[in-house]
């Protein structure tokens, strides 16, 4: 059972997706995605800059699950921003995945010709190549710079989000247009401090759940889409097993109180865009 959330364009997205960031394209991504699909995931998140779109596509085909039952997200890399470059990047992702459409496609990093790239995504959505379009790593400052220029409002903003970094300011801005948060690093990127937090583990003991399951349940109850990543078959299964319990309002408030207001990644820091383009090259 994977609860679905309706996006502001009417597209339905499973609330729990399987993240593939930093899973290498050496057969590991293929194995992990196949494992996730067999465990019941129907939402897989990849990106051009993860270099593993081909293995994701192959795992989907080999799973024997009908394509229309699986929600596939990928992301356009900054080296393909600008209107003409973005058209090349979109087709590149489709070719790598071996698919004729993607369910969701995001601008992966908000640097360079964001508006030009977004126009290409809008057109690809109209053409049926992409069902839904969104952005990623947009802070309040970046959001207010670019989104007012867009003809189509994004359906999601995929950002770093976990109980220690709850992103309340950008969530408030996005909520006015019913834009959903997708959490990357929903478990604090495996933060030991977070996963051993006494308040979280106490809630878990009450329900017979581990800390990770409590965290993911909290985020989903807050209306967020979560993308936990694991290559451990047992962890892959347990991260999806969060729909047989509900946190009380008191427990939700305990979780909300853990927010520090700080993230590890700062998209507003100077030089981030240049660093990403230099260090993650993508060929056409």
Residue positions annotated with a catalytic role: 50
Rg (CA), the chain: 18
Q: How far is residue 41's CA from residue 2's CA, in Å, rounded to a whole number?
A: 7
Q: What is the distance, to the nearest Å, from the Cα of residue 235 to the centroid of all Cα atoms in its chain?
A: 18
CA–CA gap between residue 137 and residue 123 (Å, rounded): 22
Rounded Cα gap, residues 226 and 161, in angstroms: 9
Per DSSP, what are the bridge partners of residue 6?
12
Closest CA to 73 of 93, 58, 92: 93
Q: Are 59 and 100 in contact, with CB atoms under 8 Å apart?
A: no
Tokens of 278: 């230099």
Q: What DSSP designation does 261 have?
A: S
């Amino acid at each position: 059972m994977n609860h679905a959330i309706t996006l502001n364009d009417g597209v339905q997205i499973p609330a729990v997706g399987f993240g593939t960031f930093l899973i290498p394209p050496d057969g590991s991504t293929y194995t992990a995605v196949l494992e996730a699909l067999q465990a019941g995931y129907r939402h897989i998140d990849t990106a051009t800059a993860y270099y593993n779109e081909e293995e994701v596509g192959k795992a989907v085909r080999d799973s024997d699950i009908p394509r229309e039952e699986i929600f596939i997200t990928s992301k356009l890399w900054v080296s393909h921003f600008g209107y003409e470059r973005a058209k090349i990047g979109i087709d590149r992702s489709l070719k790598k995945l071996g698919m004729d459409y993607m369910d969701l496609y995001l601008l992966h990093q908000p640097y360079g010709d964001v508006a030009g790239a977004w126009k290409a995504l809008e057109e690809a959505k109209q053409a049926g190549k992409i069902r839904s379009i969104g952005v990623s790593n947009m802070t309040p400052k970046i959001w207010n710079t670019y989104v007012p220029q867009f003809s189509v409002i994004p359906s999601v903003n995929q950002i770093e989000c976990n109980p220690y970094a709850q992103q309340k300011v950008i969530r408030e801005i996005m909520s006015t247009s019913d834009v959903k948060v997708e959490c990357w690093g929903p478990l604090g990127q495996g933060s030991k401090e977070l996963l051993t937090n006494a308040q979280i583990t106490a809630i878990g003991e009450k329900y017979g759940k581990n800390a990770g399951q409590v965290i993911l349940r909290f985020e989903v109850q807050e209306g967020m889409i979560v993308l936990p990543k694991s290559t451990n078959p047992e962890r892959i299964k347990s991260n999806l097993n969060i729909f047989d319990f509900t946190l009380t309002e008191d427990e939700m408030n305990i979780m909300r109180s853990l927010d520090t207001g700080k993230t590890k990644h700062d998209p507003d820091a100077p030089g981030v865009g240049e660093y990403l383009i230099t260090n993650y090259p993508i060929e056409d």
